[in-house]
Amino acid sequence: MNNRLGAFGCALVATAVLTGCSGGDKPTKHVEYALQGAYSASISPSARYAAIGSFNHGGSLWSLADHERLYNWNHRAGDYSLIAASAFSPDELYAATANQQDLVLWNLSNGQPEGFWSSPAEILAMDLSPNGNYALLGLADHTAVYFDVKRGGVMQTFRHNARVKSVDLSEDALLALTGDDEYNAQLWDVQSNKVIHSLKLGNIVDTVALSPSKQLAFSSGSLDRALIWSTQDGEVLHTLSDNRDLFGRRLSFLSARFSADSSRLLTGTASGSVQLWDTGSGTMLRSWEVHKRDPYGPTSTGVYSVGFGNGVYYAIGSNGIINELK
């Protein structure tokens, strides 16, 4: 994830993978949420909240409107948990945090836990259904599972041939999108446990996302293609990043979110850039570079999560800093 090529290196090494050589607009505001950086972060659907898994203080919930820390969320009293993944329910009533093996459901109205469960395998990715009833977990044992978070138990198991690194649920939890280390993005019918469509990419599938309309899907491979495709027929509509051009800029997208009306897509990369796309044409409308602690340092800031706010866009970096983008 680190970008160790400076401007001089980008100019000379034309055949290398270029991950951060072009610039973008700067954030209008940035605020530190985690002093030494974060293992994970997620922004709620309407950008009211952010959940952070920091290096130093475990999990916490923040209000994005005033950048206030609301609750500290750790899985055991007296310990700082390593929060590897977090997710919000579409109605923003619940959130879940996960370390490698345990899952906790939190009530957003009071910050209290309402369920604590052990996962069947190491948790790599997670999403929540409405009212926090179920979680879609991407696991290292080559499965994704649809898990009953309030009562416990696996309701569905979606089997793969490799680790499932990325997952997303439709807002009504009827569709599940998964991405695995064998380069496959698969759209599932949650109730029937059947694959509706499957796309093959050229590398590990880092990120997947479903639009609120359920008509569009996003899937991207590590340093490979990034695609907007139709959930109706599985056809690729737009290629946002393509590795066919050896001298082009190849990106690893770590985060993606569609707007509420599905007309826009916001993406964040491993090299600290954020892009706004028109989903109808596939054209990029805006781009930004998130704030870095040391702008002259050798390491990049991966964008863990992006969100659409009221007249502002948000992005959280691996350095633990939230960015407001306009």
The residues facing 305 across adjacent strands are 316
Tokens found for residue 46: 């309407």
Query: What are residue 7's phi and psi, to 5 degrees?
Result: -60, -40
Q: How far apart are CA 99 and CA 102, in angstroms?
A: 5
**pTM score above 0.85:** yes
Query: pLDDT tens digits for the chain (326 residues)?
Result: 333 333 323 322 222 233 344 468 999 999 999 988 999 999 999 999 999 999 988 999 999 999 999 999 999 888 899 999 999 999 999 999 999 889 999 999 999 999 999 998 999 999 999 999 999 999 999 999 999 999 999 999 999 999 999 999 999 999 999 999 999 999 999 999 999 999 999 999 999 999 999 999 999 999 999 999 999 999 999 999 654 543 345 689 999 999 999 999 999 999 999 999 999 999 999 999 999 987 655 567 999 999 999 999 999 999 999 999 99
Query: In sequence order, which residues have a C-beta less than 8 Å from that of residue 30 and are 6 or more positions away?
Result: 290, 291, 321, 322, 323, 324
Query: In sequence order, which residues have a C-beta less than 8 Å from that of residue 117 and are 6 or more positions away?
Result: 102, 103, 104, 147, 149, 152
Radius of gyration of the chain (CA): 18
Report the first-to-last Cα separation within the chain, whole angstroms.
26
Return the SS3 of 43.
strand
Domains of the chain with bracketed CATH: 30-325 (2.130.10.10)
